[in-house]
A = this chain, B = another copy of it.
Amino acid sequence: MSSRERSLWGWGWADRFPDDDTRRGIAAQVGALLGVEAPKLRTPPTLDSIRMPAPAIPVPAALAAFATDARRDRAMHAHGKSYRDLLRAFTGDFSGAPDLVAYARDERDVAATLAWCASERFAAVPFGGGTSVVGGVERPEGGAWRGVVALDLRAMDRVVVVDDVSRAARIEAGATGPRLEEQLAARGFTLRHYPQSFEHSTLGGWIATRAGGHFATLYTHIDDLLESVRMVTPRGVYETRRLPASGAGPAPERLVLGSEGILGVITEAWVRVRPRPRHRASASVRFDDFARGAAAARAVAQSGLYPSNCRLLDAREAMLNGVPADGGAVLLLAFESADHALRPWIERAVALAEAEGGRSSGIKERTDERGGDASAEAWRQAFVDAPYLQTVLVSLGVVADTFETACTWDAFEALHARVRADVERTMREACGGGLLTCRFTHVYPDGPAPYFTFVAPGRDGAQLEQWLAIKRAASEALAACGATITHHHAVGRLHRPWYEREVPSLFLESLRASKRSLDPEGILNPGVLVDP
Of A143-151, A402-410, A418-426, the one with at least 4 CB within 8 A of chain B: A402-410
Indicate if A361 sits at the interface (CB-CB under 8 A).
no
The answer to whether A513 touches B503, judged by C-beta atoms less than 8 angstroms apart, is no
Note all chain B residues with C-beta closer than 8 A to A447.
166, 243-245
Partner of A244, one of B243, B254, B444: B444
Can you list, as one digit per residue, whether each of A492-532 has a CB less than 8 Å from chain B (1) or not (0)?
A: 00010001001110110111111011100000000001000
Chain A binding surface SS class: loop
> How distant is the Cα of A394 from the Cα of B526 in the complex, in angstroms?
57
Note all chain B residues with C-beta closer than 8 A to A165.
298, 408-410
Which residue of the partner chain B has the closest CB to A249?
Answer: B258
The answer to whether A410 touches B163, judged by C-beta atoms less than 8 angstroms apart, is yes
> How distant is the Cα of A529 from the Cα of B250 in the complex, in angstroms?
10
The answer to whether B249 touches A251, judged by C-beta atoms less than 8 angstroms apart, is no
Known: A166-B409, A302-B167, A339-B305. Is A248-B504 also a contact (CB below 8 A)? no
Note all chain B residues with C-beta closer than 8 A to A82.
none
Note all chain B residues with C-beta closer than 8 A to A488.
247
Indicate if A448 sits at the interface (CB-CB under 8 A).
yes
Partner of A248, one of B249, B302, B503: B503
Greatest chain B CB density within 10 A among A166, A210, A488 is at: A166
Indicate if A137 sits at the interface (CB-CB under 8 A).
no
Which residue of the partner chain B has the closest CB to A509?
Answer: B517
Note all chain B residues with C-beta closer than 8 A to A233.
506
From residue A191, how far is it (CB to closest CB) to chain B in Å?
A: 13
From residue A244, how far is it (CB to closest CB) to chain B in Å?
A: 3
The answer to whether A243 touches B406, judged by C-beta atoms less than 8 angstroms apart, is yes
The answer to whether B495 touches A245, judged by C-beta atoms less than 8 angstroms apart, is no
Indicate if A439 sits at the interface (CB-CB under 8 A).
no
Known: A239-B504, A506-B238, A517-B506. Is A445-B483 also a contact (CB below 8 A)? no
Indicate if A313 sits at the interface (CB-CB under 8 A).
no
Q: Report the copy number of this chain in the oligomer.
A: 2
Interfacial residues of chain A within 108-139, with CB under 8 A of chain B in the complex: none
From residue A272, how far is it (CB to closest CB) to chain B in Å?
A: 5
Indicate if A392 sits at the interface (CB-CB under 8 A).
no
> How distant is the Cα of A222 from the Cα of B248 in the complex, in angstroms?
13
Indicate if A434 sits at the interface (CB-CB under 8 A).
no
From residue A340, how far is it (CB to closest CB) to chain B in Å?
A: 5
Note all chain B residues with C-beta closer than 8 A to A243.
406-408, 447, 483-484
The answer to whether A484 touches B446, judged by C-beta atoms less than 8 angstroms apart, is no
Indicate if A367 sits at the interface (CB-CB under 8 A).
no
Which residue of the partner chain B has the closest CB to A257?
Answer: B250
The answer to whether B218 touches A218, judged by C-beta atoms less than 8 angstroms apart, is yes
From residue A525, how far is it (CB to closest CB) to chain B in Å?
A: 12
Known: A165-B410, A409-B166, A410-B166. Is A246-B510 also a contact (CB below 8 A)? no
Note all chain B residues with C-beta closer than 8 A to A489.
247
Can you list, as one digit per residue, whether each of A318-356 has a CB less than 8 Å from chain B (1) or not (0)?
A: 000000000000000000011110001000100010000
Indicate if A252 sits at the interface (CB-CB under 8 A).
yes
Greatest chain B CB density within 10 A among A235, A250, A442 is at: A250
Which residue of the partner chain B has the closest CB to A242?
Answer: B408
Interfacial residues of chain A within 215-260, with CB under 8 A of chain B in the complex: 218, 220-221, 227, 233, 235-252, 254-260
15 residue pairs bridging A and B, Cβ less than 8 Å apart = A168-B408, A227-B408, A236-B506, A237-B506, A240-B503, A241-B482, A241-B502, A242-B408, A244-B406, A244-B407, A248-B486, A250-B255, A254-B254, A340-B348, A510-B514
Residues of chain A at the chain B interface (Cβ within 8 Å): 163, 165-168, 209-212, 218, 220-221, 227, 233, 235-252, 254-260, 272, 274, 298, 302-306, 337-340, 344, 348, 352, 406-411, 442, 444-449, 482-491, 495, 499, 502-504, 506-507, 509-514, 516-518, 529
With A303-B339, A304-B339 known, 7 other A-B pairs at CB within 8 A are: A165-B298, A241-B502, A243-B483, A246-B486, A247-B488, A249-B260, A510-B517
